[in-house]
């Protein structure tokens, strides 16, 4: 799913997740408020984009499945 994002968005998302992980562990607390206000909004937008892509992919697969003719088992 991350393959559908631009490379810069993937890198930003990975870095942000890593940074939040460090903060959750009690490391590097400087700038936390600034990161929360600006970057959480971007993180949410990217998450929405990923969810939208996931839903579109699920819709496509269900549509394919519905439109695939069923094959009856051959009786001997």
For residues 54-72, average pLDDT: 85
pLDDT in tens, 1-43: 455 667 777 777 777 777 666 555 444 555 554 556 677 788 8
pLDDT for 46 equals 83
Each domain of the chain, given as residue ranges in start order, spans 2-66
**What is the value of pTM for the model shown?**
0.46
Phi then psi for 28, rounded to 5 degrees? 40, 75
Q: CB-based burial of residue 73 (10 Å sphere; 0-12 exposed, 13-18 middle, 19+ buried)? A: exposed
Measure the CA–CA gap between 52 and 23, rounded to whole angstroms.
Answer: 29
**């009856």: which residue's tokens?**
72
pLDDT band at 72 (very low <50, low <70, confident <90, very high): low
């Amino acid at each position: 799913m991350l393959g559908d994002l631009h490379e810069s968005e993937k890198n930003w998302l990975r870095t942000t997740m890593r940074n939040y992980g460090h903060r959750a562990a009690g490391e590097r607390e400087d700038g936390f408020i600034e990161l929360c206000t600006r970057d959480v909004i971007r993180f949410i937008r990217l998450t929405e984009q990923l969810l939208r892509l996931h839903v579109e992919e699920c819709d496509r697969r269900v549509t394919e499945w519905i439109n695939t003719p069923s094959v009856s088992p051959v009786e001997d």
